[in-house]
Structure 1
């Protein structure tokens, strides 16, 4: 019997050790990716901070890139310079695309920027009478070899929730993609429903209401 307890204790110790190690590794990885993201827009940040003259031409390349679009808008917003942001990119779809790519880039998710990403459609649900409607923007994306997810083909990503009065760069609190959810095994409506029921609704119950973004760079721990 003593041997059994020793074995159980060792198994529990191994699990706890792994979880602690995993937590430390994830925090280190998240710090690295956030540092990389800041580096991408550092020149813009420095110019805004130093009150240097900026033009639409200075901003456009950063706004055009899906990797820096969201951070660029948030930086400009922080410095009351959103008039420099390209009007054609000031849409919920463009904002959602950048938000999803930034989410996928985290090491705990896809750990990469998709090689291709395309918008599919908006899916709408009633939010239990709390607000009229809640909307999700659904995308498909894929990566090339040698990435481990290349074999899955087109995966599905969901960005939201957005409400009827949402502005394009309001932060969506339930962006998610089950990497193994592909267009071969799930519809856009089914995946949006999964996100709505398993993330949005649970978060609303745990800590209502959903709040809009504060700050231009989301930090994950």
Structure 2
């Protein structure tokens, strides 16, 4: 009996050690991801901070890139310079794409920016007497990434409302990284995110 308790104690200790390791590894990976994101936008940020003139052409370079688009709008908004943001990217769909790309890059999700991403459709869901909207995208990664074998996967961003602005924060950005195009319809994936993510926050 004593040996059983010793074995159980060792197993519990190993689990605790693993959880502590994962916690610190997650913190380190998150810090590295945030540092990388800032470095992408740093030249624009430093120009804004120093009060230097910035052209619309300079901003366009960052707004075109879905990795930096969302952050570009945010820092322009903080500096009251949103008039420099290109109108062609001032849409909820453009903001949603950038938000999903940044979410997927997070270490606990896809752990990288997808190699390709495309908007599939806007899905409307009736909720509490109102309509809420989700944007559904398909994305994929190339080898040797572990998700390459899944092909095109689905990602959902929302909820948005009738009065939502393009770069409002969507509280339920999510991808199961296993829902494949052709196996589940965009409407069903948006409904799953609405019921299992949005309504549980």
The offset of 1:7, in angstroms, is 1.4
The offset of 1:119, in angstroms, is 0.4
Q: d(CA) in 1 for partners of 2:146 and 2:196?
A: 26
Out of 156, 173, 179, the position equivalent to 2:171 is: 173
Q: d(CA) in 2 for partners of 1:151 and 1:184?
A: 14
The offset of 1:141, in angstroms, is 0.4
Structure 1 unmatched runs, 5+: 204-221
Q: Deviations over 1:9-43 (max 9, x none)?
A: 21111111111111110110000000110111111
Q: Which has the bigger relative contact order, CA under 8 A and spacing at least 6?
A: 1
- Name the structure 2 match of 1:156: 154
- Name the structure 1 match of 2:108: 108
Aligned with 1:149: secondary structure? helix
Aligned with 2:166: secondary structure? coil
The offset of 1:188, in angstroms, is 0.8
Q: d(CA) in 2 for partners of 1:188 and 1:56?
A: 35
Q: d(CA) in 2 for partners of 1:121 and 1:166?
A: 17
Q: Deviations over 1:35-93 (max 9, x none)?
A: 11011111111111111011101100000001000000000000000000000100000
Higher helix share: 2
Q: d(CA) in 1 for partners of 2:110 and 2:23?
A: 18
- Name the structure 2 match of 1:185: 183
Out of 107, 131, 134, the position equivalent to 1:133 is: 131
Q: d(CA) in 2 for partners of 1:82 and 1:9?
A: 58
Q: d(CA) in 2 for partners of 1:107 and 1:12?
A: 26
Q: d(CA) in 1 for partners of 2:158 and 2:19?
A: 30
Q: d(CA) in 2 for partners of 1:127 and 1:70?
A: 27
Q: d(CA) in 1 for partners of 2:11 and 2:164?
A: 48
Q: d(CA) in 1 for partners of 2:74 and 2:48?
A: 12
Q: d(CA) in 2 for partners of 1:128 and 1:27?
A: 38
Moved more, 172-181 or 119-128: 119-128
Aligned with 1:121: secondary structure? strand
TM-score (norm 1): 0.88
Q: d(CA) in 2 for partners of 1:114 and 1:185?
A: 20
User: What stretches of structure 1 move > 6 A for 4+ residues in a row?
Assistant: none
- Name the structure 1 match of 2:66: 66
- Name the structure 2 match of 1:81: 81
- Name the structure 2 match of 1:201: 199
- Name the structure 2 match of 1:216: none
